């Protein structure tokens, strides 16, 4: 049995990610690390067809996965991107008949976690509970911001936003190397992700390269000017680092709270 924390091996990205959402004890980490163990490997390509039967939550340990939907007219839309440490469904439940398909963008290592086990971990530790809800809220935020890209950002801005987002997510799990990080998506996949044609993705990428903001070579991306690309992408970092409330009665007013914020009252 492989322990994710032993020498040389990278720390389990699931634990690493969730640690951003709550202060996890050693016991908490051990519980979570156990979910990330029984791994399956998959080559690039479909993992689960639409309509497939599923009883567990898919957890990505290595590689990139995405969820997509194929329309009757042949068009395809990628709706979500999953990277190491990401759960492909909300932690507490699964739709037994998949209504979107799941595919691997690279060779991947996965774990299958029964939703019941996650919910039980939630009962055993309020910190795990908080971390899992934080994770769920974060993926909601990412999904909504993807809709903002699709609706209101230009092709170039969408791609720029994508680089900012991916960088942020990979950094959370310690998978960036300085200014660069793995970026294995095909231009055709980017097109299906952002509602564009591959031709236009190609040209928009060239524009990003021409301005010197990003370079892209051999399935890796390097961001040369983070501040500028964030500005042109209208990327709001704070979305990725917001807090979460699971127990409304729990705390008194937190220290950082500004008294003038408006509430529903």
Partner DNA sequence: CGGTTGCTTGAGATCCATCAATAGGAGTGG
Partner DNA sequence: CCACTCCTATTGATGGATCTCAAGCAACCG
Piece in contact with a copy of itself (CB under 8 A), picked from 151-159, 163-171, 175-183, 215-223: 151-159
> Contact between 154 and DNA (CB under 7 A)?
yes
Instruction: Give Cβ neighbours of residue 66 (< 8 Å, ≥ 6 apart).
Output: 78, 79, 80, 81, 82, 102, 103, 105, 189, 193
Instruction: Give Cβ neighbours of residue 37 (< 8 Å, ≥ 6 apart).
Output: 1, 2, 4, 111
Over the window 93 to 132, marking each residue x when it contacts DNA by CB under 7 A and - when it does not, the resulting string is ----------------------------------------
Alpha carbons 196 and 59: distance in angstroms, whole number: 28
Identify the helix (H) or strand (E) that includes residue 156. helix 155-172
Residues 95-124 that bind a copy of itself (CB under 8 A): 95-97, 99-100, 110, 112, 114-117, 119, 123
> Which one of 33, 39, 136, 205 is in contact with a copy of itself (CB under 8 A)?
136
> Contact between 174 and DNA (CB under 7 A)?
no
> Contact between 262 and a copy of itself (CB under 8 A)?
yes
Residues 221-240 that bind a copy of itself (CB under 8 A): 234, 236, 238-239
Angle 81-225-11 (CA atoms, 0-180°, nearest 5)? 45
Q: Which of 146, 7, 153, 19 is nearest to 79 (CA)?
A: 146
> Contact between 45 and a copy of itself (CB under 8 A)?
no
Piece in contact with a copy of itself (CB under 8 A), picked from 8-16, 43-51, 177-185, 206-214: 43-51
């Amino acid at each position: 049995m492989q322990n994710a924390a032993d020498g040389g091996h990278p720390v389990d990205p699931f634990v690493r990610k969730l640690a951003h959402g709550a202060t996890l004890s050693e016991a908490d980490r051990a519980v979570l690390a156990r979910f990330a163990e029984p791994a399956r490997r998959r080559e690039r390509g479909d993992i689960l067809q639409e309509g497939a039967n599923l009883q567990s939550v898919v957890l990505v340990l290595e590689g990139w996965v995405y969820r997509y939907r194929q329309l009757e007219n042949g068009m395809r839309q990628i709706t979500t991107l999953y990277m190491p440490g990401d759960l492909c469904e909300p932690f507490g439940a699964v739709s037994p008949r998949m209504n979107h398909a799941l595919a691997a963008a690279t060779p991947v290592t996965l774990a299958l976690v029964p939703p019941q086990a996650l919910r039980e971990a939630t009962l055993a530790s309020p910190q795990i509970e908080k971390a899992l809800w934080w994770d769920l809220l974060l993926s909601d935020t990412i999904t909504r911001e993807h809709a903002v890209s699709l609706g209101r950002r230009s092709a170039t801005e969408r791609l720029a936003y994508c680089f900012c987002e991916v960088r942020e997510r990979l950094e959370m799990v310690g998978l960036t190397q300085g200014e660069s990080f793995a970026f294995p998506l095909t231009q055709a996949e980017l097109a299906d992700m952002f509602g564009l044609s591959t031709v236009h993705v190609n040209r928009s990428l060239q524009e990003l390269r021409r301005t010197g903001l990003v370079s892209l070579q051999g399935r890796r991306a390097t961001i040369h000017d983070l501040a500028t690309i964030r500005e042109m992408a209208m990327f709001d970092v704070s979305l990725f680092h917001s807090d979460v409330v699971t127990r409304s009665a729990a705390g008194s007013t937190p220290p950082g709270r500004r008294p003038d914020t408006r509430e529903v009252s």
